[in-house]
Amino acid sequence: MKYVIIGAVAGGASAAARLRRLNEKAEIVIFEKGEYISYANCGLPYYIGNVIKDRNELFVQTASAFNSRFNIDVRTLTEVTAIDVENKTVTAFNQITGLTYTESYDKLVLSPGAEPMRPPLPGIQNNGIFTLRNVNDTDYIKAYVNQEKVKNVVIIGAGFIGLEMAENLHEIGLNVTIIEMGNQILAPLDLPLAAIVQQHILSKGVGLKLNTAVTGFEKENQVLKVILNNGEVLETDTVIMSIGVKPDTKLATMAGLKLGAAKGIWVNEFLQTSNPDVYAVGDAIEFTNPISKNSMNTYLAGPANKQGRICANNIVLGNKQTYKGAINTAIVKVFDMTVAATGMASKHLTLNKIEHIVSTTHNGSHAGYYPGAQQMTIQLAFSPNNGELYGAQIVGFEGVDKRIDVLSAAITQGNTIFDLTNFEHAYAPPFSSAKDPINIAAFVAENILLKKHKVFYVNEIHNLPENAILLDVRTALEFAENRITNAINIPLDNLRTRLNELDKNNTIYLYCLGGQRGYLAQQILTQNGFENTFNLSGGFKLYQSFN
C-alpha cells in the first residue's frame, strides 16, 4: 500500500505519523512545497518579538528526523502541481533540481493549508509590505526590521495574528498602529468583550483605527505611505498584512474534487473527499458546524492535528471514525491580557437565526482573600428553551485558559447552563474560589433562563423608554465619581427605606458595577410590588468599556 500526502505542516504531518504507526510496511511519501515541515505557525510572532530566541525551537520535526523516526519519504521544496484522480498519480516539481515527475498512490491525503489574503491594492508590491504565514515570511520580516532599522509599523487587520504581531513588535520597541476595517477587533468576539480588549491595547500606547479601510500604498524616499479610505495618509517603515486567510483549493479544483458552500474542499464525516481514494484535512477543508449545522472552515492547529489522526485511522482501518467538527475554541495573549472564545458568538447566532440569551459576569480568578486575584469577564450564550450552551467568551488575565477549556468541553458534549451550575472544580485559594467563575456565570444564566432575573444590555442603554427610571444602586461615592447620564442614585443598602421615592408604574432599569448588587436590588423591588425591573448585564464595568 502506498500513501501520498500533500502538505507537511499540521494535518499532513499528523496523518503521516499516524499512518506509519498503523502500517509499518506501507510506503509513505509526503510532499511539502516549503523548506520546512511540522513547524509551529503559532510561534512565529513570538520569534519575531524575541520571546522565542532560538529559531530551531519553532520546528517540531525536521525532514531528516521525521524520516529517521517514521521511515517516511519527506520531499521538501517539492510542489505538487497536479492530481490525476483517474490514474491515481500526482505531478511534482522539484524546486531545487527543476525536475518535474509523477508519483503514484493508492490513497492520497490533501493538506495544502490556507493562503493569506493579499488584495490587489495599488502599491501593494512595494518593498516592506509583508504577510506572515510560514517560516520564510518570519525570516524576511525579522531581517527587514533589523537591517532597515524599522521604527514604525502599520498592521492591517486585528485578528489573532495581527494582535500577536502588534504586541511582539511593540515589545521590541516599534511604534505600532493597527488598522481594522470592521467596528471591532477579534471577529470571534462580541463587541462588548472586544471593547474591553480594545481599551487594553490603547492603554499600551498602540494606535488602533477601527471602521477604517486601506485603499492603497505609496513609497517615497524609503517611507511607506498607507492611504486610508477616510483620506488620511499614514507614514511608516513597514506594513504587515493580516487580513485573514482562505482555503488553498487550487489542486482540488484542478482535480475536479467537490468544493463546498464555504469554498473549502468538501469532505464527508470520514474526511473523505468526493473521490473515495482522496482524503483531506486542515485549513483547506470545510465541515458542518456542530451548532449552526452550516458549512464552515477553521484555521486552527488543534483541529487540523486531530483531523490528521482520524483521517489516517479511516484510511488504514476503514471508514469507522467520524469527524464531529470543531467549535473554533481559540485563545490569544494580548499584552498582559488573555482573550478566549469557544462556540458561536451572539452576533453569529443572530445571523444564523438561532434564538439565544446572553449573560455576562465578572469574577476573580481565585479567592479574593488570597493575594493576586484578577478580574475576568465571562459571557455565555445559551438556548432560551433548555439552556444548552452555544458559546462562551472570556477576557481576563489569570485562569482564562482552564475556564475556556471547560466551557468548550461543555458545548461539545451538549451540556446546559444547569449542568454548569453543578460543575465540580479543583478548589484551593491560589487557584479558584469555592464557587468557581464558571459556577457563578451559570448561576446568573440560570436565573435569567428561569425568569428570576430580567436583564437588559449595554447596547440598549441609550434607547430606554422616555418615562423609564435608570437607577444606580452603587454607593454615593461611586456614583459621584462616574455614572451613566440621567441615572439617579439610591445605594443598595438604603433601598428598602427609600422605596417611596420610586413609582411602581414606571419601568426601572438598574445597574451597579458588575451586576450583583443590581440583581439584589431587583429582588427587593420585585418582592415589594415593582413588576417591571431590569438589571444591566455586565454592569457599569462593561458599559464603560463599550462606551
48-55 long-range contacts (CB < 8 A, ≥24 apart) are 48/138, 48/141, 48/142, 48/145, 48/165, 48/168, 48/169, 48/172, 49/167, 49/168, 49/169, 49/171, 49/172, 50/168, 50/171, 50/172, 51/168, 51/171
User: How would you write the pLDDT of the chain (547 residues) with one tens digit per residue?
Assistant: 999 999 988 899 999 999 999 999 999 999 999 888 877 778 888 989 989 888 888 877 778 888 889 999 999 999 999 999 999 999 999 999 999 999 999 999 999 999 988 899 999 999 999 998 888 889 999 999 999 899 999 999 999 999 999 999 999 999 999 999 999 999 999 999 999 999 999 999 999 999 999 999 999 888 899 999 999 999 999 999 999 899 999 999 999 999 999 999 999 999 999 999 999 999 999 999 999 999 999 998 899 999 999 999 999 999 999 999 999 999 999 999 999 999 999 999 999 999 999 999 999 999 989 999 999 999 999 999 999 999 999 999 999 999 999 999 999 999 999 999 999 999 999 999 999 999 999 999 999 999 999 999 999 999 999 899 999 999 999 999 999 999 999 999 999 999 999 999 999 999 999 999 999 999 999 999 999 999 999 999 999 987 7
The catalytic position among 22, 40, 42, 316 is 42
Q: Is 52 exposed, middle or buried (0-12, 13-18, 19+ CB in 10 A)?
A: middle
Look at the block and give the residue holding cell 467520524.
Answer: 322
Would residue 512 show up in a list of annotated catalytic residues for this protein? Answer: no
**pLDDT tens per residue across span 412-463:** 999 999 999 999 999 999 999 999 999 999 999 999 999 999 999 999 999 9
Q: Is 66 helix (H, G, I), strand (E, B) or coil?
A: helix
With beta carbons less than 8 A apart as the criterion, state whether 511 and 518 touch: yes
Contact 160, 332 (CB under 8 A): yes
State the pTM of this model: 0.94
> Please, where are the H alpha helices in 135-190?
135-147, 160-171
Q: What is the largest CA-CA distance in the chain?
A: 89
Quick one: which of 201, 543, 534 has its CA closest to 362? 543
> How far is it, in rounded angstroms, from Cα 27 to Cα 13?
15
Compute the chain's Rg from CA coordinates.
27
